[in-house]
Amino acid sequence: MSLTLPAQTLRAVASDLRRLNYTPTSWQGLLANHSESIRKQLEPLLVEMVREGAHPRLMALMLDRLADAQEVLQRERNAWSFVWSGPDPLHAKTADTFATVDQLIGEARSSLLIATYNIGLSSEFRSLFASIADRLDQGRLKRVDLFFHPKQIENNLGSSPLASISKWFHQEVWPWPAKPHAYVDRRLIIGSVERCYQHAKVVIADAALPEAKALVTSANFSETAQRHNFEAGWLTTSIPRVQEISKQFGLAVEQGLFQPLENAN
């Protein structure tokens, strides 16, 4: 039988078991202060353990270990929340994608990583970029990494794709002096015959800090995706998960899978 009891309940029963210096023939007295649902889960387990010759102290130890596992599981559950883009009525009970992204960016204290396919050029998103550039310039952000696909000019890259993308990025996307570390899929630069480019949509804030957060979503970093499309994603505050996502992008850069843009002239 699987237990669905909270850790606090398991620890309370374990504490009661440690006070016993004998193995009871009935568990009604020990469990009398607990609800019927708790008794129905625990009594069969305790009876079975007695049948196997377990002492109350061993039972208490097992319940404490089960409580440890429940707490780990609960922390993992609490570290994830659903994020949604779509019609306003659905936002009443679910976090909004744009609001979540805006909060992640606004609360970042050290670093940001943004990955998108289509990069938004609406006034709202240019304001977001401008705020990031301003914080970079002031030293309030130490590093920003931006992975994107230049969808707006993908069919007009000419004979020097990297130079064309870099010029477009510095003039149209990010004209401010403080620049992020910007990357595009290397296959776009070498003219791969396969049409498969950077398509991940991720926002990571402060991957190296205890406040680390990451949003993995289907929504591009654009107004259409985050304001109007139906998009879904998960926000995590689990530091190991955030660092795992961040590490994946770092490894991709190290292995040359992403090409850094040329510096602005």
Q: What is the DSSP letter of 229?
A: S
Rounded CA separation 78/169 (Å): 38
165/50 same-domain check: no
Instruction: Tell whether 139 and 60 lie within a shared domain.
Output: no
130 in a domain, yes or no? yes
* Residue 102 sits in the same domain as residue 204: yes
Residue 118: the pLDDT is 94
Residue 228 lies in a domain: yes
Answer with the one of 55, 77, 99 that is the final residue of a domain: 77
Order of strands, sheet of 143-149, starting from the edge strand that comes earlier in the sequence:
95-96, 80-85, 231-236, 213-217, 202-205, 111-118, 143-149, 181-185, 258-260
Inside any domain, residue 23: yes
112 and 66 in a single domain? The answer is: no
User: Which of 77-86, 145-154, 191-200 tops mean pLDDT?
Assistant: 145-154
**Band of pLDDT at residue 259, cut at 50, 70 and 90:** very high
> Which pLDDT score, from 0 to 100, does residue 87 have?
66
Instruction: For residue 222, tell me if it sits in a domain.
Output: yes
Same domain, 102 and 61: no
* Predicted confidence band of residue 152 (pLDDT cuts 50, 70, 90): very high
Per the structure, the count of domains in the chain is 2
Instruction: Write the single-letter amino acid at 118.
Output: N
Q: Are residues 252 and 239 in the same domain?
A: yes
Residue at token pair 């992204």 = 101
pLDDT at 88 over 80: no
Question: Do 110 and 189 have their domain in common?
Answer: yes
Residue 117 makes CB contacts below 8 A (sequence gap 6+) with: 148, 149, 151, 197, 198, 199, 200, 201, 220
Lowest mean pLDDT across 85-94, 125-134, 192-201, 235-244? 85-94
Assess if residue 164 is contained within a domain. Answer: yes
Q: Do 84 and 71 belong to one domain?
A: no
pLDDT confidence of residue 28: 87
Whether residue 237 has pLDDT greater than 60: yes
Same domain, 114 and 151: yes
Over residues 110-116, the mean pLDDT reads 97
**Domain end residue (candidates: 54, 77, 100):** 77
Q: Is 93 found in the same domain as 56? A: no
DSSP 3-25: ----HHHHHHHHHHHHT-SS--S
Within 8 A by CB and 6+ apart from 47, the residues are: 27
233-239 mean pLDDT: 94
- Identity of the residue numbered 84: W
Final residue in a domain of this structure, among 52, 77, 102: 77
Q: Report pLDDT for 25.
A: 86
Q: How confident is the model at residue 94 (pLDDT cuts 50, 70, 90)?
A: low
Residue 215 lies in a domain: yes
**Residue 227 maps to which CATH number?**
3.30.870.10
- Which residue range forms the structural domain that includes residue 65? 7-77
126 lies in the same domain as 33: no
Task: Give the tens place of pLDDT for each residue, 33-56.
Answer: 888 989 999 999 999 999 999 999
Residue 93 pLDDT class (50, 70, 90 cuts): low
Which region among 78-87, 231-240, 252-261 has the lowest average model confidence (pLDDT)? 78-87
Q: Is residue 63 part of a domain?
A: yes
Q: Is residue 202 part of a domain?
A: yes
Residue 7 pLDDT exceeds 70: yes
The answer on 235 and 203 residing in a single domain is yes
